Amino acid sequence: MRTTLKRARSEALKPPPKLDLVEWADTFRVIARQNSANPGRWSTLRVPAAYGPMKATTDKRTQIVTVVACTQVFKSEYLLNTCAYYIHQDPASILFVQPTQKLAENFSKERFSPTREATEILRTLIPDTKARDSGITITHKEYPGGTLDFVGANSPVDLASRPKRIVLADEIDLYPADAGGMGDPLALAEERSSTFRRRKKNIRVCSPSDEKTSRIWREYLKSDQRRCFVACPHCGHEQILRWSPETVLWDKDENGNHLPHTVRYHCEACGAGWTEAERIQALRALAEAPDHGWRQTRPFRCCGQDHQPSVWDDRGRALCPTCGAAAPYDGHAGFQVSKLYSTRHELADAVKEYLGARKKPELMRKFVNTALAEVWKEKTETLDPKALAERCEPYTHLSAPATIRLVVFGADTQDDRIEVTFLGFGDDEEVWVLRHEVLPGDTAKKAVWDQLDALILEPVHPVDGRTLTAQAGCIDSQGHRGAMVHAFCRARKRRRIYAGKGMAGPRLIWPKTPSRTKNSGDRLYIIGTDTAKDDIAARLAIPTEGDGATPRAIHFPAEGLSADYFDQLTAEQAVTEIKGGNPVRVWRKKAEDARNEALDCLVYGLAARLSLPMRLDRPARIAKPPAVAAPSAEGQPEAPVPAPVETAPEREGDLPSREAARATRRAKWRRR
């Protein structure tokens, strides 16, 4: 009896088995139904690429983990696994940082709370938010041995208060450059763990962004830069999975149409194509590898020489090929994961995304960042004004190309003049500069604005006989003449003429909703000038292809442009500046006294185009104009041959339809 009691007491006082993060998650973690397409018990085998980061998280030699990952693979679940592990297995105070306080609250409610409800061990440790005197709120959780706080990177007070041993930083590329004047928010948050020395854990995850400004990429380059090597199912060669024309291949049909479902990943050694089943099987085999495929790729120095890692030990640590010593390790593990490593995404879906993005820089950037988990590298070549001038083509606004489907304008206001650029847009957003006019005159007086009004109403004549007028326009309201601009636009709002104000930074070219001026309450549209100039630079870099269609390219007329037009168009360049200790990409003039009105007009013209809901990635609708007889071989007219004339699609807000509706309502009211 006494022996039985001793055994029972020993078992009761025995500490729980010490598990690493992979073992703990596979044992205790449950995925909430509302957060995943595959709810239920967590299995790391379903996400083989997660083995490396999760093993490193509970490695005593590692204090910092940086994960550069694509979207919808394992970023959020990895953070939740880590958070839950340190609540249950190794209790500690945790700081969970999101880009903003609102996002922090949303993550707590939409991701953490369902995880707590689904995972039994978390329910027993963390009281319900509704429990009285529990000390539990949406952003603050308490449990035996520690606390969990969800904070926003834009809140310097929350970032710089009590010590926290575990700091989890999500989507760090979206953090502000400066947190309320106190510096880099990531540095502020992780400073709170500094006193724990080698017991601290700083976990950062994010998809990368621009090469020069991406915070997660900058941190990854400081790490040991681990990459995942996968063995070929055919020859056994271990390789990093890369998206390239040599490795990701698919077929086309007899008409040249792409067939994404035929895609195969091809081994860089033997060239064999992997089926989708073979790719997934090769990924799941990572579970049995001693290093789970993750190996250091950062160069190191040993024996007086610099080495590119080529030999590794069972932990993935690079070995010196001369003496066999392991490369030095400072406790910072870095990982990069693309969708090629995902067992939940088919390779064919990535091909479809690529095909839809390859001709559109903004979509291609998203594909590179969020699917390939690589930084976007801007083209650095400088646009040559002389080279642009040599691209001029023999057309004017009176003999415009027949491919133009709509016309807009952008205007820049100075004290002594108004400059206006008219743009024609065709299929796939191809652009033709139709004319650039300078209207001299004091813009504080009405006369020059009357000239502008008359100019806007002047038609454009494509060579197919149509007559087009500007469907929308945007005028710069900054400077001394803001009141005149707003008065002009206010009287013409039904003609879709808008007052705009340029603003730097990462924002939409055309805002979803307008702002309001303080004094008059007029609508003011905040234009994302840096984004627009990025788009224009990308368009100008596209060479035009003679008479053939060139999506998104910009064409210029041989007549009607000033001698310095192209100098103005290329007067600015993108530069990287340091703000708050972080690199920020902005547009600046090449010379302080350089004129840039042509570029500004193009920016506002592009904004005007985006104000219209009309899509130009679809074939134009053709209406039949009056018949034109074509002579027969005998000189007699044959059946009428209609010339194709485009009709703009009807949209809400078109003036004729609105006036007709109002007239109908007035007539009904009179009859009553």
Residue-wise pLDDT for 599-649, tens only, equals 999 999 999 999 998 888 766 554 444 444 444 433 443 333 333 334 333
| Percent of the chain clearing pLDDT 90 (strictly above) | 60
Token look-up 């953070």 returns: 79
Position 527 pLDDT exceeds 50: yes
Using DSSP's 3-state secondary structure scheme, residue 152 falls into strand
**Residue whose C-alpha is closest to residue 244's, from 226, 274, 268:** 268
- Please choose, from the candidates 171, 153, 209, 169, the residue with its C-alpha nearest in 3D space to the C-alpha of residue 580: 153
Enumerate the β-bridge partners of residue 413: 418
pLDDT score of 361 more than 80 = no
Report how many helices (DSSP H) and strands (DSSP E) the chain contains, helices first: 20, 31
d(CA 338, CA 162): 36
Strands 166-170 and 201-206: parallel
CA distances 273 to 23, 231, 252, 644, Å, are: 34, 13, 16, 48
DSSP state of 72: S
The first and second tokens of residue 635, run together, are 């000189």
The answer to whether 493 and 524 have CB atoms below 8 angstroms apart is no
Between residues 672 and 343, which one has the greater pLDDT?
Answer: 343
- What pLDDT is recorded for position 1? 63
Which is higher by pLDDT, 159 or 67? 67
The CATH code of domain 391-610 reads: 3.30.420.240
CA 401 remoteness from chain centre = 34
Residue 216 has pLDDT above 70, yes or no: yes
Q: Convert the pLDDT of each residue in 105-142 to its tens digit.
A: 999 999 999 999 999 999 999 987 765 555 688 889 99
Q: What is the pLDDT of residue 643?
A: 39
pLDDT at residue 453 above 60? yes
Q: What is the mean pLDDT of residues 163-168?
A: 92
CATH architecture of 12-222: 3-Layer(aba) Sandwich (3.40)
CA 614 to chain centroid, in Å, comes to 23
Task: Give the torsion through C-alpha atoms of 476, 480, 482, 488, to 10 deg.
Answer: -90
**Fold matches, 12-222 and 391-610:** no
State residue 180's pLDDT score: 72
Rounded distance between C-alpha atoms, residue 195 and residue 201, angstroms: 12
Tokens 């210029």 -> residue? 556
Going by C-alpha positions, the residue among 425, 610, 607 that lies closest to residue 528 is: 607
The 10s digit of each residue's pLDDT in 492-507 is 989 999 999 999 887 8
DSSP 166: E
Domain boundaries, the chain: 12-222, 391-610
* Tokens found for residue 400: 């415009």
Percent of the chain with pLDDT over 70: 86
528 beta partners: 503
Q: Going by DSSP bridges, is the β-strand pair 515-516/523-528 parallel, antiparallel, or unpaired?
A: antiparallel
The secondary structure of residue 62, as a DSSP letter, is -
Q: What value does the mean pLDDT take over residues 309-337? A: 93
pLDDT at 546: 64
Distance CA 310, CA 229 (A): 12
Average model confidence (pLDDT) across the chain = 86
